[in-house]
Amino acid sequence: MRKSIKIWLAGFIVIFVLSNIVFAQTIAVTPKEIDGKTYVDIDSLKDFLNFDYTKTQNSLIIQKKDLSISEVIDKVNKSVVAIIGDSKKIKADDFYYSKIPAGLSHGSGVVIDKNGLILTNNHVVEDLKQPYVIFYDAKAYKATVLYSDKEIDLAILRVNRSNLTPIEIENPKNIYVGQEVLAIGTPLFLGWRNSVTKGIISGLNRPVDEVYTFLQTDASINPGNSGGPLVNMQGKLVGINTLGIDYWQGINFAIPAENILYFLDHYKKFGRIKRCYLGLEFEDSWLSYVGLPSNLGLKIIDVKADSPLKEFAQENDILVAIDSYPINSIAEYNQTLMKYLPGDKVKIKIKRNGKILEKEVILKEWPTSK
């Protein structure tokens, strides 16, 4: 008798709590007793609480269900902006694809702070005499470029507007190949602001320019989309749309959340990127050049006079690893250094004449004159 009362009471409590969470909605839940303990079947709750889950041998991974496309657009739209300005460098014949008058250039951006901070590509704003930001409600504001970095191709702008809707940035660990995504921005023409295209993440860690790695997506990215958000079906930012491959379809790239967080974290703490420096120049292996997997390491072709490895490394040495991170391309090298700050100690592993040599060094900060 006592057991049945205990089970009934547990079921009542579950129903009471859940009904209050969702404002008086109710659901029938039948607790089960196993080995003297009372359980509620998770399958009976997942639709009610709008989550999916996967089971592993030792854990239960709960994930919030994806939103519909229209729900994602409604959630994100107020965070997406267009950016326009008079370009210092653009030529009239560069406007064959655009309805924008010659001399003007435009791109996209996304709100990252309710008090007026906008994230976009460096290449969207670097040549603008005076950028203007146009919001979802068609109101335009003069913008100030607070900081930009050409290598990582990101920039932060400020406008004098508050109570904005900032986008949420996804945890890089939750980004995977095959994940559905939406690209939102202003392709080709300002009248097409907040255009949406849909696709998937086609690949991770793509070394497009030998500097950093990118997300690959088949969501359409056209001129003007640069700087706009690539979001998952939770409406979270997974990348900043950056470029497409001319004359080819379905091959487009975005700066990944990992690099965005690195850029924003350094700006918040230091006002700029404090990039690490080892004073080495490299040559990618032929495998890296053609995109094949490589474990050949990275060939050193020059050791600078101010390198912390000046007395250790030599030309034609092969950089094998930094701490426990294997290095096989220039992009992989740069991505690895993002994990550190100048002043950090790292263990450098190189290969010379078939022998592995190791040395602990202190990372320098990238010289501003370089």
DSSP, collapsed to helix, strand or coil, labels residue 30 as coil
**Residue 241 to residue 24: CA distance in whole angstroms:** 42
Is 153 assigned a catalytic role? Answer: yes
The values of phi and psi at residue 18, to 5°, are -65, -40
DSSP 183-249: EEE--S-GGGTTEEEEEEEEEEEE-SSSSS-EEEE-S---TT-TT-EEEETTSEEEEEEEEE-TT-S
Q: Per the residue annotation, which of 123, 220, 288, 307 is the catalytic one?
A: 123
Identity of the residue numbered 101: P
Angle CA(136)–CA(140)–CA(146) in degrees, nearest 5?
100
Is 226 assigned a catalytic role? Answer: yes
Which residues on neighbouring strands pair with residue 61, listed in sequence order? Answer: 54
Task: Please enumerate in sequence order all residues whose Cβ is within 8 A of that of 135, keeping only pairs 6 or more positions apart, or say none.
Answer: 78, 81, 141, 161
Alpha-carbon radius of gyration of the chain: 25
**Residue 152 to residue 169: CA distance in whole angstroms:** 17
Q: Are strands 32-34 and 37-39 parallel, antiparallel or unpaired?
A: antiparallel
Is 94 assigned a catalytic role? Answer: no
**Residue 304 to residue 308: CA distance in whole angstroms:** 9
Q: Per the residue annotation, which of 226, 288, 294, 307 is the catalytic one?
A: 226
Helix segments in the chain, DSSP class H = 2-21, 43-46, 69-76, 122-125, 257-270, 286-290, 330-337
Q: Per the residue annotation, which of 87, 153, 202, 329 is the catalytic one?
A: 153
The percent of the chain in helix, strand and coil, each rounded to the nearest 5, is 20, 35, 40
Which residues have a catalytic role annotated? Answer: 123, 153, 226
